[in-house]
Amino acid sequence: MVKLPGGDLLLAGNTNSNGGYDGALVRTDAFGNVIWERTYGADDWDFFREMLVTAAGEVMLVGRSFREGVGAEVWVLKVDEEGEILDEWLYGGDGEQEGRAICAFGDGFVIAGSAGTGELSDGLLIRIQVDGSEAWSQTFGGDSLDMFNDVLATSDGGLSMMGITHSFSQWEEAYHVKADADGAELWFHNWGQVNDQGAMKHQELSSGEFISIGYTKTSGGGGEDMFLLKSDPEGGFVFGRTFGGGADDQGASVDLTDDGFVCAGWTSSYGAGGRDVFVVRTNASGSTLTEIVGTAFDPLSVEEETVATVFIAPNPSAGDFRIEGLVGRHAWTLHDASGRMVGSGSIDEMSTISVDVEAGVYRFRLVDQRGVMRWTGSLVIVDR
């Protein structure tokens, strides 16, 4: 997720709502009301892993695309703030490649991920010029699984990558590699002890030290635990902290506060069951104010409203349908699988809607008179 200058939010991920998998991009306002959503990809599977917004306001999305006759390659899509495609590139070679992270670097970008399959993969680093051409490509690792989950441009003009390696131990380990501006390796560290460990994201501190987040099974409450690691400018260990309970818990992102760090991920140890969002705030030493884990919090005080059950009938429809359970007058829009609006109008509880579109799956949205999104759902159109 990234925040746009005007306060709107962009969320990138994946969807199988159209059959197979496609990259998905959603724009909301600051309150989470959906403005538009779009899907991208070819006939086979396509995945987004990360995105950034450039100084020019363009959105760069990186991931993996499976193409017939080509296999899996690094997939980069450039879109504008309305989701319209500006450019698209694929990078690859023999075997499979995946882009898992992207950062601005010089007048272009650097992509990090993996090249290869399973236990025969290497960490992959690609430098991309502003026009999308490949400046250079480097791989890193040993004789087994190596992959990068994150990349950042460092204050000394180089690059730092973190991820997972299986090349130096019988266990998975956190993997930290430092490279110069040309992608040449300067040093690397692999972190782990007597069980699996991995790094997902990291930040460089003003001191030149690094803070990273991921998971470990080497210590903690049991199973996987969220793991916060601080290392010095040469990658040496400073401290490690674990957070979690008796089940699996994992960190996915870390950010800086005025007096420490905020870590986010998921937990199976606490919450309502299954996997729940897990947020941990620490001081600069990685310590929390308390070891008691709250099961809920309300960061924003908002008035809750009771919303009537709304549904489309009939659904599937040949083009004529009603909205059951609607109270009051609303504006409606209909969007195709790419996010393009193909119909709009206004409706109340007595109205019938007629649309003339091709057979397929569409997204139907209702907005109240204040412009607040009230309901969204799928509409299946069949041939008459």
- Model confidence pLDDT, tens digit, residues 122-144: 999 999 999 999 999 999 999 99
- Model confidence at 383, in pLDDT bands (50, 70, 90)? confident
From the number of C-beta atoms within 10 Å of its C-beta (0-12, 13-18, 19+), residue 303 rates as exposed
pLDDT at 311: 87
Q: Compute how many other C-beta atoms are within 10 angstroms of the C-beta atom of residue 83.
A: 20
pLDDT at 294: 82
pLDDT at 341: 85
Q: Average pLDDT in the 324-345 region?
A: 85
Phi first, then psi: give them for residue 118, nearest 5 degrees. Answer: 55, -130
pLDDT at 279: 96
The mean predicted confidence, pLDDT, of the chain is: 91
The answer, yes or no, to whether residue 17 has pLDDT greater than 70, is: yes
Phi first, then psi: give them for residue 119, nearest 5 degrees. Answer: -75, 0
pLDDT at 297: 65
Question: pTM of the prediction?
Answer: 0.79
Nearest to 224 by CA among 164, 284, 168, 176: 164
State how far the Cα of 159 lies from the Cα of 151, in Å rounded to an integer: 7
Question: pLDDT: is 43 or 298 the higher one?
Answer: 43
The answer, yes or no, to whether residue 92 has pLDDT greater than 90, is: no
Residue with tokens 């010089």: 106
State how far the Cα of 82 lies from the Cα of 35, in Å rounded to an integer: 10
Q: Average pLDDT in the 63-69 region?
A: 86
- Model confidence at 94, in pLDDT bands (50, 70, 90)? confident
DSSP per residue over 288-325, as a string? Answer: -S-SPPPS---SS----------EEESSSBSSEEEEET
Given a contact cutoff of 8 angstroms between Cβ atoms, the answer to whether 167 and 188 are in contact is no
Q: Average pLDDT in the 352-381 region?
A: 85
Sign of the Cα pseudo-torsion (70, 114, 181, 169, in order): negative
Given a contact cutoff of 8 angstroms between Cβ atoms, the answer to whether 228 and 238 are in contact is no
pLDDT in tens, 290-312: 888 887 666 666 555 554 578 89
Beta carbons within 8 Å of 332's beta carbon, 6+ residues apart: 323, 343, 344, 345, 346, 347, 353, 364, 365, 366, 367
Rg (CA), the chain: 23
Beta carbons within 8 Å of 186's beta carbon, 6+ residues apart: 158, 178, 179, 180
Nearest to 164 by CA among 177, 143, 147: 147
pLDDT at 19: 73
pLDDT in tens, 204-255: 999 999 999 999 998 777 789 999 999 999 999 999 999 999 999 999 999 9
pLDDT at 217: 93
Q: Average pLDDT in the 256-279 region?
A: 93
State how far the Cα of 322 lies from the Cα of 314, in Å rounded to an integer: 7
Q: Which domains does the chain have, with CATH numbers?
A: 2-283 (2.120.10.30), 311-381 (2.60.40.3080)
Q: Average pLDDT in the 159-185 region?
A: 97
DSSP per residue over 193-254, as a string? Answer: SSS-EEEEEEEE-TTS-EEEEEEESSSSSSSSEEEEEEE-TTS-EEEEEEE--SS-EEEEEE
State how far the Cα of 194 lies from the Cα of 172, in Å rounded to an integer: 10
Please report, as a single letter, which amino acid is at residue 77. L
Q: Average pLDDT in the 50-75 region?
A: 90
Q: Average pLDDT in the 271-277 region?
A: 87
pLDDT at 71: 79
State how far the Cα of 213 lies from the Cα of 65, in Å rounded to an integer: 27
pLDDT at 40: 95
Of the chain, the end-to-end C-alpha distance in Å amounts to 40
pLDDT at 219: 78
Q: Average pLDDT in the 352-360 region?
A: 92
User: For 35-44, 101-110, 197-206, which range has the lowest pLDDT when averaged over its residues?
Assistant: 35-44
pLDDT at 300: 63
The answer, yes or no, to whether residue 66 has pLDDT greater than 60, is: yes
The two tokens of residue 372 are 């607040």
pLDDT in tens, 174-215: 999 999 999 999 999 998 878 999 999 999 999 999 999 999
Sheet containing 276-283: which strands, arranged edge to edge? 249-256, 260-267, 276-283
From the number of C-beta atoms within 10 Å of its C-beta (0-12, 13-18, 19+), residue 262 rates as middle
From the number of C-beta atoms within 10 Å of its C-beta (0-12, 13-18, 19+), residue 5 rates as exposed
> What 3-state DSSP class applies to 349?
coil
From the number of C-beta atoms within 10 Å of its C-beta (0-12, 13-18, 19+), residue 304 rates as exposed
DSSP per residue over 116-127, as a string? Answer: SSGGG-EEEEEE
- Model confidence at 378, in pLDDT bands (50, 70, 90)? confident
